[in-house]
Amino acid sequence: MNSSSQEPTEAEHRERMKVVQAEMHAKIAAAREKRDLLIVHTGDGKGKSTAAFGMLARMLGHGRRCTVIQFIKSGDSAVERALRGPLLHWHKVGDGFTWDTQNRASDVARCREGFALACACLQDPAVRFLLLDELNIALTHGYLPLDEVLAAIHARVPGKHVVITGRGAPAGLIEAADLVTEMRAIKHPFATGVKAQAGIEF
């Protein structure tokens, strides 16, 4: 270590990076399996759907047919407008925030409608990427039974990744998933009275 600056010399840096490179190449070489993934984005922080939409954009870029089913949410989607094309099918099966609808029977019926669409997509070999946006909310409120949802996902035809978003992912879903990311809220402008803004929240 260079004692005057406490920063590594170029030679020390190269030696350190050679070790890291060897470790990474070994990990890459060991990871040979490719399979369909169940991915969950949850937590109380912002960015769960946004991250999923990034995956959606990648899949479309690879020429894969994709479907988005939005539970709970309603209204126009700027992301749908931006990504619209022959490879993307987008369904909205929500009437808005549960605290606004205040109609459990209607919320359950809309979620059942969305789940029927999801089951059809899970059995359609042409759909390679299925995003079930805010499904965790439906599960948390008991609008859909977790066991039924997991059974449908596990029985899906091969060649399909499934992404589920929403805060409060049930423990059973987390256990079943291959990849789980928790978004943690540290600061949010809404807490200081800043309204949701186009391109940031919607």
State the Cα–Cα distance between residues 152 and 169, nearest whole angstrom: 17
Same domain for 136 and 54: yes
Please check whether residue 201 lies inside any domain of the structure: no
3-state helix, strand, coil split of the chain in percent (to 5) is 45, 15, 40
Please tell me the total count of domains within the chain: 2
Please check whether residue 54 lies inside any domain of the structure: yes
| pTM: predicted TM-score of the whole model, two decimal places | 0.83
Looking at residue 152, its pLDDT comes to 98
Please check whether residue 18 lies inside any domain of the structure: yes
Q: Which domain holds residue 139?
A: 34-192
pLDDT tens for residues 2-36?
444 578 898 888 888 888 888 888 777 776 667 89
Same domain for 116 and 91: yes
State the Cα–Cα distance between residues 143 and 180, nearest whole angstrom: 22
- The bridge status of strand 88-92 relative to strand 179-182 is unpaired
pLDDT tens for residues 58-82?
999 999 999 999 998 777 788 999 9
Please check whether residue 45 lies inside any domain of the structure: yes
